[in-house]
Chain A
Amino acid sequence: MTRFFVPGDAAAVSVGADEVAAALTGQPGVEVVRTGSRGMLWLEPLVEVDTADGRVGFANVSPGQVGALLADATSVCSREPTASAGPAPEADHPAYLGPLDEHPWMTRQARLTTARLGVVDPADPDDYARHGGWVGLRRALGMAPEAVVEEVVASGLRGRGGAGFPAGVKWRTVAGGPGPLKFVTINADEGDSGTFADRMLMEGDPFALIEGMAITAWAVGASEGYVFIRSEYQHAIATMRRAVETARTGGWLGPDILGSGLAFDVEVRVGAGAYICGEETSMLSTIEGRRGEVRAKPPIPALSGLFGRPTVVNNVLTVAAVPSILADGPEAYAAHGVDRSRGTQVFQLAGNVARGGLVEVDFGITLRDLVEGFGGGTRSGRPVRAVQVGGPLGAYVPADRLDVPLAYEAMADAGFMLGHGGVVVFDDTVDMGRMARFAMEFCAKESCGKCTPCRIGSQRGVETIDRLVAGGTESDRRANLALLQDLCTTMERGSLCAMGGLTPMPVRSALTYFPEDFGLSADGEPR
């Protein structure tokens, strides 16, 4: 039997991976394994084949090429890789990539959190174990919980959801919180456009998240966990639910995890189409069965979170990084990165980009290297004009500022935001006035409505941008510009959470770097 690895990842499926898998299944001598995706999304459906010389890849495979693929799979080792960039033209034979572990797009990465992505069978906990899984949990369970917390502190791991709060410090607070009942909640409400790493990890390596949650529970003394996944992620929901059941059966979750005495179980909860649920207090309200409205802080969720109990709220990538930190030690993790941005960041290259996908590298890579080096520039072939980093609430970085290093501090110093690591590329056809308007429109549609600056300010923002772009007399435009800036300041300072507070970021960056798209002169004055 020859094993063929076909991604079951939603992105791969969206361009035909299921059809390829179906065409391969039942062929003589063929065993099909559905993996996650390696993250080379522009090459999907990307099929790997087990050969005598290891796993080799074929790009952009269509069902019609399966016959040729079967023939090629037995004779690939003498061939040179043919595919480097861009979707291959429809041909009889799929483009041959050679061993993916030697592909330059992969060798330049530092895959710690996503090491197993696209490699292992996400339904098989033993395959997970063969690739280094459960080692961190076993080590953690042999340590005092306080020592586990301190290792995470020492690793420098910060929250990957966007805020970048030190994970170990948060855990310390939860561990010291009152009462016997504590929760571990995972924010998998990955609603930012341009981000998909949480989804890919849950679909491709769900046991990493479960292992991370069990370690977290041991560290803080929690007995119950929730993974809150947005309803748009049907593949991830199904994979996580199956993995939780499997983990329970195998003793990695349940009343006595690996015989350690740790009792911890996990439930997958599904959102219902509200972006705001990615805000931590909104997510907690939703899990509690209430409207997903934001709560004022303090009290912080670490002390009074889910049902008023001490609660860890961490992003998928934060907790999925924990098993490798415990397995390899905090020093190994902290050896990556720059300044106070330690470790790696899982970037997501998206939008109008030639080679889009998932790139895990040390903090400190420049945006230019990511967009041009990994991404290969725009998919349209036109010049890059703007890159939005950090989701819908992140700034639009102009093409002449791409040399900014991607780290929490460096981005903040430049007036930008790293967020959840989403990088969305736009070519020179983009109308930044429209994108600024969209930022306000999105906020108006997705605001939870609890606070006035966000609920009403965003709607007035849409109208004010419309009036500004429409033109009028110079004094009209001067007044509309002043009003828009004033509105942005009110939203920034007066909103209860980051939704209203950061919506001005894309708007202001568009105004600052692309004034001509608003009918303004280069110095931002009406002309």
Chain B
Amino acid sequence: MVEMTRVDAVREIAAGYALHRGPLLPVLHAVQDRFGAIERGDLVAVADVLNLSIADVHGVMTFFHDFRAAPPPTHVVAICRGEACQSVGAERLMADVRADLQEASDVEVHEVFCLGNCALGPSGTVDGRLFGHLTASRVGASLPGRSS
């Protein structure tokens, strides 16, 4: 029953965009915003409602870095590795954050190329919140239950 409910919800989301021109990206965003990921069943439902092939939807979904086939862990840390942030120590920050959090199974650390905060680097996000002049200790302090 739970699976049926999710499929129905996905179909409803897709139908809501059906009259937009080129609705696939907005639909994929909306599904992921709702469920944290776009699973196989979601993809099939989206394809059916939008009258696309499953391969089409899969191809689009896997092209873009943002879309996930499985939900993220509780916390997500993104560190900018753009040139501007590298000029003020982003590579060192990335190494330090990875070292600090390598044991933390509930935190995902990944790279991102530019957050548009290039005058106040190094930049990064913790659970979607943007930080400038970011340090490894600030990352730790911004994650609940960690202070290192």
Contact = CB atoms under 8 A, between A and B. Distances in A.
Shortest Cβ-Cβ A-B pairs, 5 listed: A356-B119, A193-B82, A289-B24, A272-B64, A350-B118
Best-surrounded residue of A194, A199, A307, A348 (most CB of chain B within 10 A): A194
B119 A41 contact: yes
A160 to B, nearest CB: 16
Interface in A315-374: 348-353, 356-357
B22 A196 contact: no
Given A272-B65, A291-B60, A352-B88, A194 B82 contact: yes
Given A42-B119, A191-B114, A231-B66, 5 more contacts: A10-B130, A11-B119, A14-B130, A193-B84, A350-B84
A44 interface: yes
Contacts of A192: 114
Nearest to B57: A289
B119 A289 contact: no
A15 interface: yes
B114 A193 contact: yes
Contact of B88 (A10, A44, A379): A379
Contacts of B23: 289
Contact of B28 (A272, A274, A446): A272
B110 to A, nearest CB: 10
A353 B119 contact: yes
Nearest to A13: B130
Interface of B: 20-26, 28-29, 56, 59-60, 63-67, 80, 82-88, 112-121, 123, 128, 130-133
Contacts of A424: 83-84, 87, 118
B84 A194 contact: yes
Contacts of B115: 10, 232
Contacts, number: 153
Contact of B119 (A291, A292, A357, A392): A357
Contact of A44 (B66, B113, B120): B120
A257 interface: no
A232 B116 contact: yes
A264 interface: no
Contacts of B21: 224, 287-288, 307
Interface residues of A, number: 63
Contacts of B131: 14-15
Given A291-B60, A442-B113, A272 B120 contact: no
Contacts of B113: 191, 193, 275, 392, 442, 445-446
A187 B123 CA distance: 23
A133 interface: no
A289 to B, nearest CB: 3
B122 to A, nearest CB: 11
A392 B82 contact: yes
A426 B128 CA distance: 28
Nearest to B59: A291
B66 A351 contact: no
Interface in A441-459: 442, 445-446, 448
Contact of A348 (B86, B87, B119, B133): B119
A427 B87 contact: yes
A460 interface: no
Contact of A41 (B56, B87, B120): B120
Most buried by A among B28, B117, B130, B131: B117
A355 B12 CA distance: 50
A290 interface: yes
A11 B132 contact: yes
B117 to A, nearest CB: 5
B64 A348 contact: no
A272 B119 contact: no
Contacts of A388: 83
Interface in A402-450: 422, 424-427, 430, 435, 438, 442, 445-446, 448
Nearest to A14: B132
A15 B132 contact: yes
A194 B118 contact: yes
Nearest to A396: B83
Interface string A37-59: 00001101000000000000000
Contact of A435 (B83, B112, B133): B83
A425 B85 CA distance: 10
A260 interface: no
A190 interface: yes
Nearest to A268: B26
Nearest to A284: B22
A307 B22 contact: yes
B92 to A, nearest CB: 11
Contact of B63 (A11, A196, A274): A274
A287 B51 CA distance: 17
Contacts of A289: 22-25, 60
